Amino acid sequence: MNDQAGNIRALRRRSGLSQSEFAARIGVHQTAVSQWETGRTAPDSATAKKIAKLFGTDIGYILGVSYVKEAVRIPVLGSVAAGIPMSAVEDILDFEEISAETAARGEYFALRIKGDSMEPKISDGDVVIVRSCSDCDSGKTVIALIGNGEATCKKLKKTSEGIFLISMNTAYEPIFFSNRDIHSLPVVILGAVEELRAKL
């Protein structure tokens, strides 16, 4: 296996994506990914740019001609509770590494998921990499605090009347919060999930 094949394979695995999921993200067939990872073929420059953007690295690394810049460690939190600044959270279970390029785009933390509400995509015990932000686009998977509870991972859907927090597991009903609820409870968006580090 050459450097290019090994780099692509390592990035995909570190992100918790299967070959078919990775292929779908960049618009190619799963067989193409398999061939890249065994070194039989290589992505063209346009596809390499898509891969670099997806994983937050430089195109040279995808092409096997450079190395990822020094990684940045971020804490893996077991829980996030209302009223406690991120810098003061003591429930740190572990640390994960993100690329320097990713870290330069904002503040990040990692959260270990509890429960099965986001299955089959995100399972109990998985770790998600989260970019801190107070507002996210509709359709994004977010980490939100509801009232005085712990943080929850849900898909966000915005409407003119309020927001829905939606589980991927259809056994759980979507939860609606009116604009009034958002301010009175409150409902606070802590960040957007950008990457999944699935457990083996």
Active centre residues (catalytic):
117, 154
3-class SS string, 16-83: CCCHHHHHHHHCCCHHHHHHHHHCCCCCCHHHHHHHHHHHCCCHHHHCCCCCCCCCEEEEEECCCECC
Which two three-digit tokens encode residue 174?
Answer: 């979507």
Residue showing tokens 């503040």: 107
